[in-house]
C-alpha cells in the first residue's frame, strides 16, 4: 500500500465494517456529482460550439445555462468531490490493509486528476463571460476539463474494480490501473453512460423544479430543454440496462453469487421503470414525472452500490479472513495489556459495589442464605486478608458440600480485588452495628 501504511493503523473489525458502509453511502453522493460535472461540461461545450458555428442564440444560451446551473462552485467541489475521494482512499486502505495493491497511489492519481479537473471546469465556467472575444480559450478549458474529468473517472472506476480481482493485487505496481479485464471496461462504459443519463435528469430537475426553476425561459426554449433533457435521460437509461447486463455477465468468478444476480435483476427493473416514467414525461410534459424519474434513478444508484458491495464481499473472503486474524491479534494484545495493568482501573470499594450488584447479589446476601451462604457466616475467615478473598473470587472452589459450587464470574484481577474490598468493608460496617 505504500504511504497509506504510515497513516492507517491496523484495522479493527468494526473499523472495516464502517469503511464498507461508508463506501456505499459516499458513492451515492459522489457518483451523481462527478457524473453531472462530466455530462454538463460535455453538453455545455457542445452547445457552445454549435451555437458559435450555426450562430443560433438558443444553443448559445443553453450551453451557458447548463454550465452556470449545473457545474457548481468550489465549496460543492470540495464536499462532493474531493472529500469523498479521500474517504474512499482511507476506507479501501482499511479494507485492503496488508495487501500488495498500491491503494494510496491509485487514489492519489484519482485525487490529483479530480482536483485539476475541477479547477479546469471552474475556468471553463468562467470563460463563458468572455466567450465572444476569447472563444479559443473557452474551447481549450472545456476540452481540458473533459480530458481531466475522464482521467479522474477512469482512476476511480479502475480503483473500485480492482477490489474484485484479488489475484491481480500482487502484479499491479503502478497507480494507473490498466483495463485488465472486460468487467473493468464494462464498468467504465457503464459509468460514462450513466453520467449522461444523470445529467439529462439534472437538466430537467434544476431547470424546472429546483427552487421554482429558471425564470428567464420562453416557451420555445422551455420546450427544447424538456425534450433534450428528457430524451438524453431516456436514451442513456435504456442503454444503462445493457451495460448492467454486460457488467453482471463479466463479473469475475470470485465475485459471483445468487444474491448479486438477484440484486442485478432488481436494478434492471428499476431502470426500466425509470425509462417508462421518462417516456410518459416526454409524451405529456408533466414535470412531476421527471421528478419521480430522478428519485428512482437515485434509488438505482444506491441499489447498484449495495450490489457492488455484495460482489466485493464475495471477492474479499480471504482478505476478510486475514483482517479477522489481525483484529483478533489486536484484541488479544489489548486484553493482555489490560490484564498486566489490572484492567486499566484502580481497585476500589466503589467499583466492588457495582460488581456486587451486577454479579453477586443474585445468589448472596450478607445476613441471609440464598443460593450461596450468608456473607456474615463466611467472611470472618477472610477478615483483614483482601488478597485471599480476591483469589477465591477469581478461582472459586467447592467448600460446603451442601451448597452448589460458586461459578467462575470471569472477573479481571482488579474487579475481583474491588469486590473483595467492598465485601470486607461492608462486613466490618455490619459487625460494628451489631
Output the nine-digit C-alpha cell for 433.
Answer: 452495628
The whole-number pLDDT of residue 1 equals 45
pLDDT tens-digit readout, 332-368:
776 666 555 545 567 788 888 888 888 887 788 888 8
Helix, strand, coil % in the chain, rounded to nearest 5: 80, 0, 20
Helix (H, G, I), strand (E, B) or coil at 237: helix
Whether the pLDDT of residue 290 is over 60: the answer is yes
Integer distance in angstroms from the first to the last C-alpha of the chain? 71
Q: For residue 96, which phi and psi values (nearest 5 degrees)?
A: -100, 20
In 3D space, the residue among 234, 235, 229 whose CA is nearest the CA of residue 210 turns out to be 229
Query: Residue 21 — very low, low, confident or very high, per pLDDT cuts 50/70/90?
Result: very high
Q: How large is the average pLDDT for residues 199-221?
A: 90
| Confidence category of residue 286, pLDDT binned at 50, 70, 90 | confident
Position of cell 457524473?
35
**Which residue do the cell numbers 460514462 mark?**
192
Q: Give the three-state DSSP class for 408.
A: coil
Residue-by-residue DSSP string for 100-154: SS-HHHHHHHHHHHHHHHHHHHHHHHHGGGGTTT-HHHHHHHHHHHHHHHHHHHH
Where along the chain do its domains lie? 2-328, 349-433
- Torsion sign across C-alpha atoms 273, 285, 232, 113: negative
Quick one: cell of 292? Answer: 419521480
Beta carbons within 8 Å of 431's beta carbon, 6+ residues apart: 376
Query: Which range among 42-56, 158-172, 319-333 has the greatest average pLDDT?
Result: 42-56
**Torsion angle (degrees, nearest 10) of CA 277, 281, 286, 290:** 60
Mean of pLDDT values over 254-265 = 94
Supply the DSSP symbol for 208.
I
At residue 205, the pLDDT reads 94
What H or E segment, with its residue span, contains residue 325? helix 317-340
Residue with cell string 475467615: 381
What is the rounded CA–CA span in Å between residue 337 and residue 122?
53
pLDDT at 339: 59
User: What pLDDT, on a 0 to 100 scale, did the predictor assign at position 4?
Assistant: 64
Range 349-433 classified under CATH 3.20.20.70: no
Q: Is the pLDDT of residue 413 over 60?
A: yes
Amino acid at each position: 500500500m505504500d504511504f497509506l501504511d504510515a497513516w492507517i493503523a491496523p484495522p479493527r473489525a468494526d473499523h472495516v465494517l464502517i469503511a464498507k458502509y461508508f463506501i456505499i453511502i459516499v458513492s451515492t453522493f459522489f457518483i451523481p456529482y462527478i457524473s453531472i460535472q462530466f455530462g454538463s461540461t460535455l453538453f455545455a461545450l457542445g452547445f457552445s460550439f454549435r451555437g458559435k458555428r450555426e450562430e443560433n442564440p438558443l444553443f448559445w444560451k443553453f450551453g451557458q445555462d447548463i454550465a452556470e446551473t449545473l457545474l457548481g462552485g468550489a465549496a460543492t467541489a470540495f464536499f462532493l468531490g474531493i472529500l469523498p475521494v479521500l474517504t474512499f482512499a482511507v476506507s479501501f486502505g482499511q479494507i485492503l490493509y496488508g495487501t500488495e495493491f498500491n491503494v494510496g497511489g491509485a487514489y492519489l492519481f484519482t485525487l490529483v486528476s479530480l482536483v485539476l479537473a475541477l479547477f479546469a471546469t471552474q475556468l471553463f465556467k468562467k470563460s463563458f463571460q468572455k466567450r465572444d472575444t476569447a472563444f479559443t480559450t473557452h474551447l481549450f478549458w472545456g476540452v481540458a476539463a473533459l480530458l481531466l474529468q475522464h482521467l479522474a473517472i477512469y482512476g476511480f472506476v479502475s480503483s473500485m474494480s480492482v477490489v474484485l480481482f484479488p489475484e491481480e493485487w500482487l502484479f499491479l505496481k503502478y497507480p494507473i490501473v490498466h483495463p485488465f479485464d472486460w468487467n473493468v471496461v464494462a464498468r467504465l462504459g457503464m459509468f460514462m453512460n450513466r453520467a449522461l443519463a444523470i445529467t439529462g435528469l439534472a437538466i430537467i430537475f434544476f431547470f424546472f423544479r429546483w427552487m421554482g426553476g429558471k425564470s428567464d425561459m420562453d416557451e420555445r426554449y422551455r420546450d427544447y430543454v424538456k425534450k433534450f433533457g428528457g430524451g438524453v435521460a431516456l436514451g442513456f437509461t435504456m442503454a444503462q440496462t445493457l451495460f448492467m447486463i454486460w457488467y453482471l455477465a463479466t463479473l469475475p468468478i470470485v465475485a459471483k453469487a445468487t444474491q448479486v444476480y438477484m440484486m442485478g435483476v432488481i436494478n434492471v427493473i428499476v431502470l426500466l421503470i425509470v425509462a417508462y416514467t421518462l417516456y410518459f414525461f416526454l409524451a405529456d410534459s408533466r414535470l412531476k414525472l421527471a421528478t419521480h424519474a430522478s428519485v428512482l434513478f437515485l434509488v438505482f444508484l444506491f441499489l447498484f452500490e449495495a450490489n457492488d458491495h455484495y460482489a466485493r464481499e464475495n471477492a474479499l473472503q480471504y482478505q476478510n479472513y486475514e483482517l479477522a486474524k489481525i483484529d483478533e491479534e489486536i484484541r488479544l494484545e489489548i486484553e493482555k495489556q489490560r490484564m498486566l495493568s489490572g484492567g486499566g482501573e484502580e481497585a476500589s470499594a466503589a467499583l466492588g459495589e457495582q460488581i456486587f450488584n451486577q454479579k453477586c447479589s443474585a445468589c448472596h446476601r450478607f445476613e441471609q442464605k440464598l443460593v450461596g451462604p450468608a456473607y456474615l457466616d463466611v467472611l470472618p475467615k477472610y477478615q483483614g486478608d483482601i488478597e485471599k478473598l480476591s483469589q477465591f473470587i477469581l478461582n472459586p472452589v467447592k467448600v460446603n458440600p451442601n451448597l452448589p459450587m460458586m461459578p467462575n464470574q470471569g472477573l479481571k484481577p482488579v474487579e475481583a480485588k474491588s469486590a473483595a474490598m467492598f465485601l470486607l468493608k461492608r462486613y466490618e460496617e455490619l459487625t460494628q452495628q451489631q
